[in-house]
Amino acid sequence: MSNVLQPKVVIVIFGATGDLAKRKLFPSIYRLYQNGKLSKNFAVVGLARRGWTDDVLRENVAKSIGDAISPNEDLEEFISHFYYQSFDVTDESSYSGLNILINDLEGTYQTEGNRVFYLAMAPEFFGTIANKLQENGLKDSEGWSRLVIEKPFGRDLESAKKLNKELRAAFDEKQIYRIDHYLGKEMVQNIEVIRFANGIFEHLWNNRFISNIQITSSETLGVEERARYYDHSGAARDMVQNHMLQMVALLAMEPPISLTTEEIRSEKIKVLRALRNMDSDKVSQYFVRGQYDSGEIKGEAVSAYRDEADELADSNTETFVAGKLLIDNYRWSGVPIYIRTGKHMAEKSTKIVIEFKDIPMNLYYKRDKDKRPNLLSINIQPNQGITLCLNAQKSGSGSLAQPIQLAYNHNAVSGINTPEAYEKLLYDCMIGDATNFTHWDEVALSWKFVDTILDVWSKNEANFPNYKSGSMGPDAANELLEKDGFHWWDI
């Protein structure tokens, strides 16, 4: 462990009584501590409106990490680093009280003035908090200060620009860490390694050898208790603008000249700049939206989206998006990239399938419809790993071929405890590695692309619901590929 950086830091969590803190942040901080990536020189300050005390916060922290500990483990030392302050984000006196507390903790824990401000709360307060931290001198310390913000970063390009202007009035771009938790997933980070560490793939990673790319992120869950938030968001804002386009950028980027944050970001931004923006009249040809009807998932009857809450009765919000993207550059010209994401679908899965072009004349298949192209599948969740589909001689059938799979399952490797995405991202933030966070230019270009689609959809009422819960989306999503001579692969 001697080579592992152990940051000294005070972590301030705005919204410490919320679901994100309980489910993700507290367990992630604990695992970092347990794995020797966080020294004893740290403190966590929880802020929220509730009238909690230090003890109440510590009880809740202990409860939230209950699953991660052995029954006889003593948590007292760890939870003693947690402190609580009742907080009103609009009230000046709350910030002066916070300043006093942080200064005290920096003396107690010798954290060298390093501060992380994590905004785990409603985005309408992001700008207010950032500016109040600046006005009250909370970001001016002997060490470094970083601001971590969750999505959504705006509702469209205009609101994102406004929010960015507010944040940049208080913090520099280098101090702002915009979280996209997909970028913390190990297999998403592995995309770069699979490409750039293997000549067998990188030499073929272009429009001469790849016929299409498919990215699927499907969930079996519906909107659950997030109905109000989700109905103002929809699948395009919730998934496409951030997670899906980030995966597209990683898959399509040019090899960076080095593995620094700046070089990797630079190549991703070039991809997003090369995305073909559609005219409004072409949106229906390239994008499909859906909303789930009632149906059955894993043998259980589930309700339609419009029946999930009273306010959803006439909702025009999409719970499914499929689309065809084109990148107008030398490497990818002519290669369609298909994306689909949705709720209440047949399976929970995030995966990427690269379909390679077939050879001009395949003598080993009697019928064209039996042909199987070579496929590379990168499975991100729930089963992490990669699968390569090849053709080999069919046993006992002379010269006929059959598809075989070479698979590497990351989950099956003994001794690997895959870090939860938030654990990885929190640590990266504390050591100052912004590679797996999104730069403002990426956010702006993604909104520019998605805004055209949302604008068209807002002016036209959809024929919802149009797919059964427990299916893989509306028929139109299959037709999107069929008209190009392709189909969705399920491997």
The residues annotated with a catalytic role in the active site are: 243
Query: Rounded to the nearest 5°, which phi and psi values hold at 300?
Result: -110, 135
Of 119, 115, 117, the residue nearest 144 (C-alpha): 115
Residue in the block written with tokens 């969705």:
488
First to last CA, the chain: 39
Amino acid at 18: G
Peptide bond into 152 cis (omega under 30): yes
Q: Under DSSP, is residue 43 helix (H, G, I), strand (E, B) or coil?
A: strand
Number of Cβ within 10 Å of residue 399's Cβ equals 9
Torsion angle in degrees (nearest 10) through CA of 235, 241, 243, 249: 140
Amino acid at 284: S
Query: Rounded to the nearest 5°, which phi and psi values hold at 149?
Result: -125, 145
d(CA 30, CA 372): 47
d(CA 203, CA 273): 23
Amino acid at 88: D
d(CA 26, CA 422): 10
d(CA 464, CA 454): 16
Q: What tokens were used for 491?
A: 């491997």
d(CA 255, CA 198): 12
Peptide bond into 382 cis (omega under 30): yes
Of 103, 88, 105, the residue nearest 54 (C-alpha): 105
Amino acid at 439: H
Angle (nearest 5°) at CA 370 between 369 and 374:
105
